[in-house]
């Protein structure tokens, strides 16, 4: 046996087997999965994430195995996996929660929801919701003319509502009037005073009226990221004086009889249930007044805002909610019932426009890690006649190493040594600039400084009080995991509004993650990174991750991102949409891929920017002909270049190993 092969077997046997006392339960707690996973996500004994598309007691799918099966169908990462059973389950749970509340409070009306299309306009998503929501007479909410087209064509149920929000011109309003004659139930919600006149005009043009709603600008307080959706400065809605004027205008145009709905929306992701209660009370009173003014009111639309507990902390912090779905339904039902009963007014059909709460759970984004950065903290071997700066750094390192890791550490001692290290490192830089230190010596200085940092950090856990300065050292030493992903495309809210999503490896969860790291994406934008992670009501800048293994994929999942992300994602750096699949469980315990939506090719994204892939190829062909003629490029190599370019245009914008 050669020494080399002996070394190889040695290192192999030195790899610790998975017999440490780390369990999958530890991972579940560490990543908060036990808190945010609801009934849909858990960890199996292989250390992989299990998905239970129909809730915990049903069939489970091993997410890592699934990813491998999809990859062997040439559906490469990054990949968006949509579990349509989860979408259906969320829809059912929302309706069941309202039904339960209606029974409990003996509410004499019903609940009838709509899905706000802007939350996820994807054809298969909206179609799926229309199919599984049919027996609930589930409808849609449109916020633009294009969304109205989707809603008009997809709602086939004459009882389902079509709530028309957003800016409206006359054509928008005329379309809704005609759709009413088609047998649909569109309700035009007046969001701005200027729309009243347009509704009156459109009704005169056609000689028929639409169903009309009013969006109230509530003065109840709000909070959270979308708090500005209410109050005097809100973008939409009518103030109380404006509501009164509107009612009179409708009355004189003979349209008051078509005013049926009152709508409010206090903003997305309501964190604190108290906010909803205030809004409900205020809206309840306005509803009663509208009845008194003579409108045959029928619907109270409480808008969206039903929140998601992204970190599972059940708190009123931004990534969480201090209420459950059932609490929400109970409050809506009980508050409105109380309001109406006290005034002897028939209770309305309750409508909600919950988007986030329906669409968040069902899609999981999985991406692979391409590589990981490491700080160059290897201690360089001692050379003869080392410059003083290098010797100083070596001495500092030796001093830090002398401090025991196990007993209580005096942090001022660590701080002092670290200050020295920084000082010597600065000296090394100055000396390099002035030409006294060579490149290899500068490299040694850097390595020794990083080695000092590492030793300091290893002793921090034994300090009773960690100085701020030293705390940041941990972050500087953390690894950057390079992700095959564009956050601008697939998780734009993490960048735009600092939203948190649960992010964690989907395998190796029976191994203790001993590294700390964050993610950098494929874009050349320094903002293209994920550096904020859920931490049970708080936020942590680093995530516990595993060391990469050679020749083995490390696969990360981002969860609860089914609402808003995909559509708001953009083509920054020309990274296009990822592959996505829609998956359904089958009766025999397997699954089928109902839809496979291939991600954008490079030709797609070039065309989106008005480039012509064919013309682009042709220009390069001409250039390569020239190079062949001048003898700089062989014909075979020119062909090879063209093959690469042609293939590349047909392939996805992401990296493939």
Ligand X SMILES: *Cc1c(COP(=O)(O)O)cnc(C)c1O
Residue 391 CA to residue 428 CA, distance in Å, equals 11
Residue 184 CA to residue 155 CA, distance in Å, equals 8
Let me know: does 624 contact 638? Beta carbons within 8 Å. Answer: yes
Question: C-alpha distances in angstroms, 578 versus 62, 427, 571, 592?
Answer: 21, 48, 11, 20
Contact between 217 and ligand X by CB under 6 A: the answer reads no
59 or 265: CB nearest ligand X: 265
Long-range contacts of residues 460-463, Cβ cutoff 8 Å, at least 24 apart: 460/409, 460/411, 460/414, 462/404, 462/405, 462/406, 462/407, 462/408, 462/409, 463/408, 463/409, 463/410, 463/411, 463/414
Beta-bridge partners for 581: 81, 596
Number of residues that bind ligand X (CB under 6 A): 19
Tokens found for residue 195:
């729309």
| Least distance between ligand X and beta carbon 229 (Å) | 8
| Least distance between ligand X and beta carbon 563 (Å) | 6
Which residues have C-beta within 8 Å of that of residue 151, sequence separation ≥ 6? 117, 139, 140, 141, 142, 162
Contact between 306 and ligand X by CB under 6 A: the answer reads yes
Residue number closest to ligand X, CB atom: 304
What track of x and - describes contact with ligand X for positions 94 through 133 (by CB under 6 A)? Answer: ----------------------x-xx--------------
What track of x and - describes contact with ligand X for positions 539 through 568 (by CB under 6 A)? Answer: ------------------------x-----
- Identify which range of 99-107, 302-310, 314-322, 542-550 contacts ligand X by CB under 6 A: 302-310
Scanning residues 268 to 297, which ones bind ligand X (CB under 6 A)? 268-269
357 or 390: CB nearest ligand X: 357
| Least distance between ligand X and beta carbon 304 (Å) | 2
Residue 339 CA to residue 356 CA, distance in Å, equals 28
Scanning residues 344 to 383, which ones bind ligand X (CB under 6 A)? 353-357
| Least distance between ligand X and beta carbon 295 (Å) | 21
| Least distance between ligand X and beta carbon 163 (Å) | 8
147 or 446: CB nearest ligand X: 147
| Least distance between ligand X and beta carbon 114 (Å) | 9
168 or 595: CB nearest ligand X: 168
Q: What angle do CA 611, 614, 616 make, to 5 degrees?
A: 60
| Least distance between ligand X and beta carbon 415 (Å) | 47
| Least distance between ligand X and beta carbon 527 (Å) | 25
Scanning residues 426 to 465, which ones bind ligand X (CB under 6 A)? none
Let me know: does 50 contact 42? Beta carbons within 8 Å. Answer: yes
Q: Which of 122, 184, 260, 265 binds ligand X (CB under 6 A)?
A: 265
131's enclosing H/E stretch is helix 123-132
Categorise residue 551: left if φ over 0, alpha if ψ from -120 to 50, beta otherwise.
left
| Least distance between ligand X and beta carbon 230 (Å) | 12
Which residues have C-beta within 8 Å of that of residue 633, sequence separation ≥ 6? 624, 627, 641
271 or 578: CB nearest ligand X: 271
Buried b (16+ CB within 10 A) or exposed e, 143-163: bbeebbebbbebbebeebbbb
Q: Which of 305, 380, 387, 479 binds ligand X (CB under 6 A)?
A: 305
DSSP string of 422-480? Answer: HHHHHHHHHHHHTTSS-HHHHHHHHHHHHHHHHHHHHHHTTBSS--HHHHHHHHHHSEE
Beta-bridge partners for 519: 481, 530
220 or 600: CB nearest ligand X: 220
Contact between 168 and ligand X by CB under 6 A: the answer reads no
| Least distance between ligand X and beta carbon 235 (Å) | 9
| Least distance between ligand X and beta carbon 263 (Å) | 7
Residue 351 CA to residue 345 CA, distance in Å, equals 17
75 or 164: CB nearest ligand X: 164
356 or 532: CB nearest ligand X: 356
Residue 95 CA to residue 111 CA, distance in Å, equals 8
23 or 192: CB nearest ligand X: 192
By the criterion CB under 6 A, which residues form the site for ligand X? Answer: 116, 118-119, 141, 143, 165, 265, 268-269, 303-306, 353-357, 563
């Amino acid at each position: 046996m050669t020494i080399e092969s002996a070394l190889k077997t040695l290192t192999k046997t030195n790899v610790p087997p998975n017999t440490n006392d780390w369990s999958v339960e530890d991972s579940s707690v560490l990543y908060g999965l036990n808190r945010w996973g609801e009934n849909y996500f858990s960890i199996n004994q292989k250390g992989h994430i299990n998905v239970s598309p129909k809730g915990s007691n049903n069939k489970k799918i091993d997410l890592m195995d699934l990813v491998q099966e999809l990859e062997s169908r040439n559906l490469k990462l990054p990949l968006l996996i949509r579990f349509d059973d989860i979408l259906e389950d969320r829809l059912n749970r929302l309706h069941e929660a309202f039904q339960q509340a209606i029974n409990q409070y003996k509410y004499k009306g019903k609940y009838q929801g709509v899905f706000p299309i802007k939350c996820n306009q994807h054809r298969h998503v909206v179609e799926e919701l229309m199919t599984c929501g049919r027996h609930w007479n589930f409808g849609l909410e449109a916020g633009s003319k294009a969304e109205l087209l989707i809603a008009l064509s997809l709602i086939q149920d004459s009882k389902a509502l079509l709530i028309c929000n957003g800016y409206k011109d006359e054509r928008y309003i005329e379309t809704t009037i005609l759709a009413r004659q088609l047998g649909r139930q569109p309700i035009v919600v007046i969001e701005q005073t200027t729309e009243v006149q347009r509704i009156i005009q459109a009704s005169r043009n056609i000689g028929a009226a639409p169903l009309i709603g009013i969006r109230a600008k509530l003065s109840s307080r709000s909070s959270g990221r979308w708090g500005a959706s209410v109050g005097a400065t809100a973008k939409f809605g009518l103030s109380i004086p404006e509501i009164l004027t509107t009612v009179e205008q409708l009355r004189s145009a003979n349209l008051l009889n078509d005013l049926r709905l009152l709508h409010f929306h206090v903003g997305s992701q309501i964190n604190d249930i108290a906010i909803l209660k205030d809004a409900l009370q205020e809206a309840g009173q306005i509803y009663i007044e509208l009845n008194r003014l003579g409108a045959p009111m029928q619907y109270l639309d409480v808008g969206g805002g039903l929140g998601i507990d992204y970190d599972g902390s059940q708190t009123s912090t931004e990534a969480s909610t201090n209420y459950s779905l059932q609490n929400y339904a109970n409050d809506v039902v009980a508050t409105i019932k109380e309001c109406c009963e006290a005034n002897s007014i028939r209770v309305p059909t309750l409508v909600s426009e919950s988007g986030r709460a329906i669409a968040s759970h069902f899609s999981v984004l999985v991406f692979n890690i391409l590589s990981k950065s490491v700080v160059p903290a290897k201690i360089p071997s001692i050379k003869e006649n080392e410059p003083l700066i290098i010797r100083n750094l070596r001495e500092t390192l030796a001093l830090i190493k002398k401090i025991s890791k196990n007993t209580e550490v005096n942090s001022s001692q660590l701080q002092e040594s670290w200050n020295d290290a920084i000082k010597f490192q600065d000296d090394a830089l100055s000396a390099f600039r002035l030409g006294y230190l060579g490149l290899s010596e500068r490299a040694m200085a850097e390595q020794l400084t990083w080695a000092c940092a590492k030793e300091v950090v290893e002793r921090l856990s034994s300090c009773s009080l960690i100085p701020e300065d030293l705390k940041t050292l941990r972050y500087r030493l953390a690894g950057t995991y390079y992700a095959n992903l564009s956050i601008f495309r697939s998780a734009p809210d993490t960048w735009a509004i600092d939203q948190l999503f649960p992010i964690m490896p989907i395998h190796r969860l029976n191994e203790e993650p001993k590294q700390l790291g964050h993610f950098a994406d494929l874009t050349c934008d320094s903002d293209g990174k994920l550096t904020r992670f859920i931490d049970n009501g708080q936020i942590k800048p680093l995530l516990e991750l595993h060391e990469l293994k050679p020749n083995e994929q490390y696969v990360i999942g981002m969860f609860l991102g089914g609402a808003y992300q995909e559509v708001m994602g953009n083509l920054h750096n020309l990274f296009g949409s990822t592959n996505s699949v829609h998956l359904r469980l089958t009766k025999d315990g397997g699954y089928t891929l109902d839809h496979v939506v291939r991600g954008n090719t490079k030709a797609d994204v070039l065309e989106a920017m008005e480039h012509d892939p064919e013309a682009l190829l042709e220009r390069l062909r001409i250039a390569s002909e020239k190079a062949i003629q001048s003898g700089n490029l062989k014909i075979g190599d020119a062909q090879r270049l063209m093959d690469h370019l042609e293939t590349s245009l047909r392939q996805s914008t992401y990296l493939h190993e």
